[in-house]
């Protein structure tokens, strides 16, 4: 059993929308509610976001189970639409629920990391243009300021956005998120709005002089050239600037990538912005980074034929000899975690960081249930060993990594995938909402208990 330092946080992640469902308090409609109403057939087994894990009714039981595993910390989040169902007025029941929820973690000696936005765009905000709307951004900042004032240092860590560009790539260049359109111009404007909202939230946070740090959780799909050809190497460089280092730099310390400006100008799709907004973005500096990592991207210089922007000139291709998670079609490549750790050490001032999500989603886990009723998820244990060993190597080599969170603490609803692929240490029975530890939960418990000191 590998041994991490005593103060290294071994925990788990989830999100508000993927666990709460409609819940016990009033909640405003989300963009995903609208997507499900319009196209329920697109959601696995026609399971929408109404119930998910029903955690607002089960949180005391769930957090007790987290404590039994020994989790040092858990990341979840606030729901903007629950606290402000109509976008304007505060719901007192929701305020009280989050106080009780956060206190339950504290009562169980679990640090709590709370995310302000995790794919859960209120429908009213989407109708106003989403992150392209300055009105929506200002409403988001008012929501953030309410949280900073109301919950203060009861929260151990704050996170502005989880995987900030995923709703952009999946909703404005794909059909996985609402509004399911494919328009680079709109995608660029949405991305710019997220960067501005993130920066404004950071600046607002500083006014409250809290002890808690604030950061962002970024999905780093570590990028490699598909081959050693000059074309693929250049393609990987540009792709990486758009998907990884460019967004990470702007949300880390407000550094704007020059390649973005040039290539967006070349295709006449620069976002609408003001000089004052750029000044705000350049003031950004986070206290820590959360990194989500599931798979690498191997980039090939090959046009998709659309010719709308520079990203149409590349494709992602998985090598034929790669190890694959067949349930997601994702490459399994733990070695990238060490490279991420070294990059953060050498190019990001060795900023405090942690793995905020990393996990193994498997379909039909019922196949692995033993005679005693427990799911023997040895594949997940193998995945954890392989990936956490790379984190341990990075820590041993001086990377300032303070923790690792598996996705997920318990089986979570996952947008159009619903519960198709299960990720949890804890199984959720959708028939009666009962919970049960998987084999991986016991392995994780031993890992936590084996820490040094």
Active-site residue list:
163, 357
Q: How far is CA 404 from CA 114, 350, 395, in A?
A: 16, 16, 11
Rounded to a whole number, what is the distance in angstroms from the first to the last CA of the chain?
A: 15
SS (H, E, C) 309-353: CHHHHEEECCCCCCCEECCCCEECCCHHHHHHHHHHHHHCCCCCE
Would you say the C-alpha torsion 423, 425, 426, 427 has a positive or negative sign? positive
The SS3 call for residue 175 is: coil
Separate counts of helices (H) and strands (E) for the chain: 16, 17
Q: Which two tokens stand for residue 143?
A: 């929501």
Copy the structure tokens of residue 95: 């305020």
Tell me how far apart the alpha carbons of residues 438 and 372 are, in angstroms, rounded to a whole number.
11
Helices (H), ranges, 229-274: 230-240, 246-253, 258-266
Distances in Å between the alpha carbon of 253 and those of 245, 246, 333? 12, 11, 28
- Residue 109 region, left (φ>0) first, then alpha (ψ -120 to 50), else beta? left
Strands 73-77 and 111-117: parallel
Three-state SS for 284?
Answer: coil
Asked if 288 contacts 322 with a C-beta cutoff of 8 angstroms, the reply is: no
- 31-40's contacts with Cβ under 8 Å and 24+ in sequence apart are 31/121, 31/122, 31/123, 31/126, 31/130, 31/177, 31/178, 31/179, 32/119, 32/120, 32/121, 32/177, 32/178, 32/415, 33/123, 34/123, 34/126, 34/178, 35/177, 35/178, 35/179, 35/180
Orientation of helix 184-206 relative to helix 246-253, angle to 10°: 20
Is the distance from CB of 47 to CB of 418 less than 8 angstroms? yes
């Amino acid at each position: 059993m590998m041994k991490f330092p005593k103060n290294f946080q071994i925990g788990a992640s989830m999100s508000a929308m993927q666990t709460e469902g409609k819940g016990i308090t009033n909640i405003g409609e989300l963009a995903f509610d609208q997507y499900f109403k319009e196209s329920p057939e697109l959601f696995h087994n026609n399971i929408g976001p109404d119930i998910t894990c029903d955690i607002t009714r089960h949180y005391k039981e769930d957090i007790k189970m987290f404590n039994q595993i020994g989790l040092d910390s858990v990341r979840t989040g606030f729901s903007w639409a629950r606290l402000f169902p109509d976008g304007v007025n505060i719901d007192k029941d929701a305020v009280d629920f989050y106080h009780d929820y956060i206190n339950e973690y504290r009562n169980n000696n679990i640090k709590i990391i709370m995310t302000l936005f995790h794919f859960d765009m209120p429908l009213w905000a989407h109708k106003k243009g989403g992150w392209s709307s300055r009105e929506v951004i200002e409403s988001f900042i008012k929501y953030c300021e309410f949280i900073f004032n109301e919950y203060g240092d009861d929260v151990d860590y704050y996170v502005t956005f989880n995987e900030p560009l995923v709703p952009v790539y999946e909703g404005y260049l794909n059909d996985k998120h609402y509004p399911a359109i494919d328009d680079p111009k709109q995608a660029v404007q949405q991305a710019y709005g997220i960067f501005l909202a993130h920066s404004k939230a950071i600046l607002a946070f500083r006014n409250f002089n809290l002890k808690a740090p604030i950061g962002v959780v970024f999905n780093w799909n570590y990028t490699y050239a598909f081959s050693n050809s000059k074309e693929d190497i250049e393609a990987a460089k540009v792709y990486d600037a758009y998907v990884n280092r460019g967004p990470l730099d702007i949300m880390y310390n407000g550094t704007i990538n020059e390649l973005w400006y040039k290539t967006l100008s070349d295709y006449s799709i620069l976002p609408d912005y003001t000089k004052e907004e750029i000044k705000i973005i350049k003031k950004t500096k986070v206290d820590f980074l959360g990194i989500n990592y599931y798979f690498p991207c191997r980039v090939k210089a090959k046009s998709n034929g659309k010719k709308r922007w520079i990203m149409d000139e590349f494709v992602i291709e998985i090598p034929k000899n790669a190890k694959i998670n067949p349930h997601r079609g994702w490459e399994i490549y733990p070695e990238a975690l060490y490279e991420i750790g070294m990059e953060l050490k050498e190019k990001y001032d060795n900023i405090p960081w942690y793995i905020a999500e990393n996990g193994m989603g498997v379909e039909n886990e019922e196949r692995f249930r033993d005679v005693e009723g427990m799911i023997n998820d040895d594949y997940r244990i193998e995945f954890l060993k392989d990936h956490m060993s790379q984190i341990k190597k990075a820590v041993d080599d001086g990377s300032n990594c303070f923790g690792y969170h598996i996705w997920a603490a318990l089986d979570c609803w996952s947008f159009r995938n619903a519960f198709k692929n299960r990720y949890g240490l804890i199984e959720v029975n959708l028939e009666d909402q009962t919970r049960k530890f998987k084999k991986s939960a016991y392995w994780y418990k031993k890992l936590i208990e084996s820490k040094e000191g």
